[in-house]
Amino acid sequence: MESSKDTHDIFGESTDQRALGDNPRVFRLEELAIATNNFSGDNKLGEGGFGPVYKGKLLDGQEIAVKRLSDGSIQGLEEFKNEVLVILKVQHRNLVKLLGCCVQGEEKMLIYEYLPNKSLDAFLFDSTKRELLDWKTRFQIIDGISRGVLYLHRDSRLTVIHRDLKVSNILLDEFFNPKIADFGRARIFGGNEHHANTARVVGTFGYMSPEYLLEGRFSEKSDVFSFGVLLLEVVSGEKITHFHHLELSLSLLGYAWQLWKESKMELFMDPMLLRESACKPDILRCIHVGLLCVQELAKDRPTMSTALSMLTNEITTLPDPEPPAFKERRVTSQSDSFPQGQESASVNNLTITNMEGQSTITPTQFITDSQTLTSSGEIFQLGFFSPVNSTNRYVGIWYNKIPVENIVWLANRDRPLKDSSGTLRIANDGNLVISDGRGTILWTTNVSNFAGRNSSVSALSDTGNLVFRLVDDNSTRGVLWQSFDNPTDTFLPLMKIGGSSLTGTKQELTSWKAESDPSVGIFSAALDLVDNIPQLVVSSNASKRLWQSGAWNSKIFIGMPRVGICIMMDSI
């Protein structure tokens, strides 16, 4: 069979081909195309970093979910192989069931059981659907997740660390029984292995433990941390990446901790649960267990077995929790019980600082989707945003005190983030980068020939210029890259447009493609030589001239003697 040959090609000689043939079925592309109505948009359930997921119906009437690898995704290919090899070795009623795979030509797909209620976040963070999640249902979900994780850690043939536990990776069947999904980042531990290091941290911000996020160290306790975050989200109905207590500048974890200290934990409960007064002790116990799971040091967190016993009252007396990680978005990571490994990308005593009101990004300070960078005079702000009628996320700069977001510069305009997992940070090579929760770099300053990670910083100035420079050189010679040399659709004072015939570089303004799409549109404004004299020219599709400024007379363009200090090009 053709697909069998391709399956061998993709997994290689070392793959247990018998395992692929014993339980999971090898599907043909043709039958999946029929099942999904040729992968119709109407059948699309969603999309993740791996690729789109489609609902399908086989000829025998069985409903399926088809996870299709996006074209050209090397990282997705690795996660595809990893997911198959991991999930073949584990089987539990709280883990999503793999039915089979399809590897045929360029197509690579995983076929799962279809779960009609989709993912937990679709209910938990929807004000209408959340009404269906009474406490009995929520605890059923919490209990099922904890049993699934416990199975991965202790009860299966192998120890499996999931590394990406989050609400969107919890699927729900028709009776709201939870099933853990997405094993593309999972890691199998063998023998006496209890922890590991990695130079490539992958996961979703908000759910990653401090030792994993900052030092690349992961273990069962990393999953326990993620479970604790998830537990607190389920009880509160709040999303970890969107919650921010303005008055106290607290994260969701910090808010739970503050209320626990003040013996006011009922204020942390989802208001929809307050009417279930008989369940209040159980709900408060879950908050307490959640706080124990998100403690800063891995050695202080319970194992999954202990956490489950606490949740089910097998352990009646709970210890007091230590302060959680990231409670004020300012956390110092200290080495705990894990030994330092050579592969680790770790740096001890790193600090994550809340960037609200700050103007600098350093190797130990970065901003996430819910945070912003503000220039020292509070004139400009940088952060993540979505255009009107779009859910894509971009990094942009806007005027801080204008009520409506007025975007004056964009970074990743042609490579948007698909969710709120993005960060703007200094990468290991020293460049300023935007990466998603899976570690994929979507944009970079792409500077070479400098010392690297600990030698660079980035600052937002009161002119609206994002400057990337050497850490010990504040002069113009220390500037490695700046947004003023890379304009998008807006011309600010001191910004440059022009070019060089020697280097071939060109700096021009380009319109947005549409109001909801800031990628490069069809209109541009650039300096051009007209009869050997510089003029500012507005063109369509870089060829048809729509307007020109008149010749430069060494002081002004004669056609625009009173040009303003800022020209903004709108999409037409």
Mean pLDDT of 266-286: 93
Mean pLDDT of 386-396: 89
Q: Which two tokens stand for residue 153?
A: 């850690």
CA-based max dimension of the chain: 87
Residues 232 and 218 in one domain: yes
Residues 149 and 245 in one domain: yes
> What percentage of the chain's residues is helix, strand, coil (to nearest 5)?
25, 25, 45
- Residue 308 φ/ψ region, left for φ over 0, alpha for ψ in the -120 to 50 degree band, beta for the rest: alpha
Residues 173 and 216 in one domain: yes
Residues 491 and 534 in one domain: yes
**C-beta of residue 572 within 8 angstroms of C-beta of residue 558:** no
Residues 186 and 238 in one domain: yes
Token look-up 């600052």 returns 459
Residues 137 and 247 in one domain: yes
pLDDT at 270 over 90: yes
Residues 201 and 300 in one domain: yes
The DSSP H or E segment spanning 480 is: strand 479-482
Query: How many domains does the chain divide into?
Result: 4
Residues 123 and 109 in one domain: no
Residues 409 and 520 in one domain: no
Task: Indicate the residue among 483, 503, 530 that finishes a domain.
Answer: 483
DSSP annotation string for 220-235: HHHHHHHHHHHHHHHH
Q: Domain of 149?
A: 118-312
Q: Specify if 330 maps to a domain.
A: no
Note the pLDDT of residue 473: 61
pLDDT at 412 over 60: yes
**C-beta of residue 78 within 8 angstroms of C-beta of residue 88:** no
Note the pLDDT of residue 193: 56
Share of the chain above pLDDT 90, in %: 42
Q: Lowest-pLDDT range, 223-232, 310-319, 470-479?
A: 470-479
288 pLDDT band (50/70/90 cuts)? very high
Residues 173 and 69 in one domain: no
Average pLDDT, the chain: 80
**C-alpha closest to that of 359 among 452, 457, 434:** 457
Hey, which residues are catalytic here? 164
Single pTM value for the model: 0.60
Task: Indicate the residue among 53, 80, 113 that finishes a domain.
Answer: 113
Note the pLDDT of residue 120: 96
